[in-house]
């Protein structure tokens, strides 16, 4: 008869066992596997790398220019343009969390027994194989010797358990038992951080809003959504200001904000880059600025006046921000009875100095507009019909045929990063636990001392052994204390 192949037998037994367990138990076994943990962590790492290499949450035209239409469609379908908010990434983190929880539950009983119900009895041979061991003879009988050893270890801050094993007396002493729970604390930290990420994804948001001076916002548009969501209150911009040095270099960007809740002012603060405004868990951070629109006041010879508003836009260049009119028509017509005047805004400069040197900087510190008028429009549309009024900064005026055109104001806007982080306390808790985990892992050593005291011809003999992940020299003082107690 051929000898039985033990490896084949073991494999068959494993297959048979798996076929006998139910689906829930099989799922539990799957998630308690170290191989499952490694595979999930590798996939999570690969997803994080993809989210780092591929720029996230960029406009569609950015991805089309960078990757082309076909590859962009694939990236969009796979959720790689917003990895960290995709359903599959959240599911992946959930699976890793389940894996950690199952592994921790499976090993919880072992850690509990090691901490609170340790195995006390041990054979002398096993004790002598520990990292440090020694046999100590004593003239006292075994009961008295065991009591002296117990007192010596307790004086060294050990937790001692004593047990009678026939004629022998076994002692188990431990110190630094908290370190047993280091891996579980690490698992808990990861689960807390995952929970924070889930809460932030479900309840948190980060968007960009623009508020012109004198206006307010009470809603925002969530990412990838065209439906506004109410803030529950409104925020108004009183004034935006750029502070600068004598060379026109910016030194600060400040927005004077007011919060209204149920129609009442409940908060006011001048924010800058490092000092946000927070209300009801939502924070407003200074993030951008610009010119919103230009307001001209046209005064007729009769003294009557009308205001014209021109919306402004901007584009970024290598030299800075350039502003211009974004209306379909850069001209507007104002009527006073049977009289009319067409006003055309041709150019905008952000920091006007003079006609010779138009702008001192690219910051909107002293914006000005070049204005033309035509009192014969639309009958005469030729270039010679438009009369230049020159460059007009704020509060400056120019006249044409007894009409007065005044730049009443350039309305600035502030760009605010609006963020709600309901998971912040969870994240803080995670980092607090991380500090505790580092302390437990690196500064607490689990020390174990086992002792067997047995009768001898002249008194008793104590077999003492010690074990720790640190060097065995740390037990020098403990062994010396035991020797002194038995001397």
- What does the pLDDT read at residue 197? 80
Contact by Cβ (8 Å): 452, 168: yes
Domain boundaries, the chain: 16-113, 122-176+445-486, 203-290+416-427, 291-411
Contact by Cβ (8 Å): 32, 102: yes
pTM here? 0.67
Tokens of 106: 């499976």
Tokens of 267: 């908060």
Spell out the alpha helix ranges (H) of 32-141.
34-53, 60-78, 87-116, 124-128
Flag residues of the chain having pLDDT under 50.
1-12, 14-15
- What does the pLDDT read at residue 20? 65
Q: Residue 155: which of 147, 163, 165 has the closest Cα? A: 147
CATH of domain 122-176+445-486: 3.30.310.80
User: What are the pLDDT digits (tens) for 304-358?
Assistant: 999 999 999 998 888 888 999 886 777 899 999 888 999 999 999 999 998 778 8
Rg of the chain taking only CA atoms, in angstroms = 39
* Residues in a beta bridge with 398: 405
Residues near 101 by beta carbon (within 8 Å), at least 6 away in sequence: 187, 191
From residue 51, alpha-carbon distances to 47, 48, 55, 65, 73 in Å are: 6, 5, 7, 18, 16
- What does the pLDDT read at residue 19? 53
- What does the pLDDT read at residue 243? 94
From residue 318, alpha-carbon distances to 63, 314, 321, 350, 362 in Å are: 22, 13, 8, 16, 11
- What does the pLDDT read at residue 5? 45
Report the b/e string of 143-174 with b at 16+ CB within 10 A: eebbbbbbebbeebebebebeeeeebbbbbbb
Q: Which helix (H) or strand (E) holds 237?
A: strand 229-244
Tokens of 192: 């807390």
User: What is the DSSP secondary structure assignment for residue 77, as one 8-state letter?
Assistant: H
């Amino acid at each position: 008869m051929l000898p039985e192949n033990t490896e084949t037998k073991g494999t068959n037994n494993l297959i048979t066992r798996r076929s006998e367990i139910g689906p829930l138990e099989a799922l539990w076994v799957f998630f308690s596997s170290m191989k499952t943990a490694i595979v999930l962590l590798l996939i999570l790492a690969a997803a994080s790398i993809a989210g780092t290499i591929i720029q996230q949450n960029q406009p569609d035209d950015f991805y089309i220019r960078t990757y082309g239409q076909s590859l962009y469609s694939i990236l969009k379908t796979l959720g790689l343009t917003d990895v960290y908010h995709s359903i599959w990434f959240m599911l992946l983190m959930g699976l890793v969390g389940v894996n950690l929880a199952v592994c921790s539950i499976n090993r919880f009983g072992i850690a509990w027994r090691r901490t609170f119900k340790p195995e006390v009895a041990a054979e002398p041979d096993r004790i002598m194989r520990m990292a440090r061991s020694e046999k100590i003879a004593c003239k006292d009988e075994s009961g008295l010797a065991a009591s002296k050893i117990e007192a010596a270890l307790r004086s060294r801050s050990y937790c001692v358990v004593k047990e009678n094993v026939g004629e022998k007396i076994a002692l188990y002493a431990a110190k630094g038992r908290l370190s047993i729970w280091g891996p579980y604390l690490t698992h808990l930290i990861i689960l807390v951080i995952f929970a924070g990420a889930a809460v932030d994804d479900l309840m948190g948001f980060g968007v960009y809003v623009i508020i012109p001076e004198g206006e307010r916002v009470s809603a925002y548009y969530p990412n990838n959504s065209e439906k506004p969501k109410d803030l529950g209150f409104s925020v108004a911009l009183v004034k935006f200001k750029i502070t600068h040095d004598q060379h026109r270099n910016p030194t600060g960007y400040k927005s004077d904000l007011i919060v209204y809740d149920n129609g009442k002012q409940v908060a006011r603060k001048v924010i800058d880059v490092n000092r946000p405004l927070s209300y009801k868990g939502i924070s407003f951070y200074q993030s951008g600025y610009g010119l919103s629109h230009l307001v001209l006041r046209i005064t007729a010879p009769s003294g009557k006046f009308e205001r014209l508003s021109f919306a402004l836009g901007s584009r970024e260049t290598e030299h800075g921000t350039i502003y211009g009119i974004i209306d379909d028509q850069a001209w507007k017509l104002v009527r006073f009875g049977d009289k009319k005047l067409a006003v055309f805004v041709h150019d905008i400069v952000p920091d006007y100095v003079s006609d010779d040197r138009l702008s001192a900087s690219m910051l909107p510190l002293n914006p000005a507009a070049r204005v033309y008028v035509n009192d014969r429009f639309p009958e005469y549309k030729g270039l010679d019909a438009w009369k230049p009024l020159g460059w007009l900064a704020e509060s400056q005026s120019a006249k044409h045929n007894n009409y007065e055109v005044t730049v009443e104001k350039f309305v600035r806007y502030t760009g605010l990063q609006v963020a709600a982080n309901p998971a912040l306390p969870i994240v803080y808790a995670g980092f607090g636990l991380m500090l505790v985990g580092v302390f437990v892992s690196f500064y607490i050593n689990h020390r174990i001392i086992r002792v067997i005291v047995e009768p001898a011809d002249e008194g008793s003999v104590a077999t003492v052994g010690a074990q720790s992940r640190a060097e065995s020299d740390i037990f020098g003082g403990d062994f010396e204390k035991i020797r002194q107690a038995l001397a």
